[in-house]
């Protein structure tokens, strides 16, 4: 676990100052690298990560919106109707 975290930190430190990066993807990757489910098999961990993203991806944003009672038409990744409304409203 420590080695995986140190590798990720080294990747982040090597990035240009001020650059933007999807750390949620990095954290998911590291989590699957160290999980007991994979037994250290990198290919299996990558497969589990892809499956997780396929399963969780479509429901993550609605789950995040629900406690705040945000309207369903608000744009979020995977919601092209919301994105289209945002662009039509001049926000895109």
pLDDT digits (tens, 9 = 90+) for 19-63: 888 887 888 778 777 775 555 566 666 777 777 777 777 777 788
Question: Nearest-CA neighbor of 29 among 49, 7, 56, 9?
Answer: 49
> For position 27, what pLDDT does the model report?
84
The total number of structural domains that make up the chain: 1
Considering only residues 42 and 69, tell me which one the structure prediction assigns the higher pLDDT: 69
Predicted confidence at residue 90, as pLDDT, reads 54
Q: In terms of pLDDT, which residue wins out, 39 or 17?
A: 17
Q: Is the pLDDT of residue 75 over 70?
A: yes
Tell which residue, 12, 74, 24, 77, has the closest CA to residue 52: 24
Range of the domain at 70: 2-88
**Are 53 and 28 in contact, with CB atoms under 8 Å apart?**
yes
Task: Record the pTM.
Answer: 0.48
């Amino acid at each position: 676990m420590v080695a995986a975290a140190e590798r990720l930190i080294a990747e982040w430190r090597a990035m240009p100052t001020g650059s933007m990066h999807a750390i949620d993807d990095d954290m998911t990757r590291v989590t699957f690298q160290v999980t007991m489910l994979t037994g250290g098999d990198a290919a299996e961990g990558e497969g589990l990560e892809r499956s997780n993203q396929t399963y969780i991806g479509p429901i993550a944003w609605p789950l995040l919106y629900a406690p705040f009672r945000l309207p369903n038409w608000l744009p979020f990744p995977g919601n092209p109707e919301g994105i289209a409304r945002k662009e039509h409203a001049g926000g895109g």
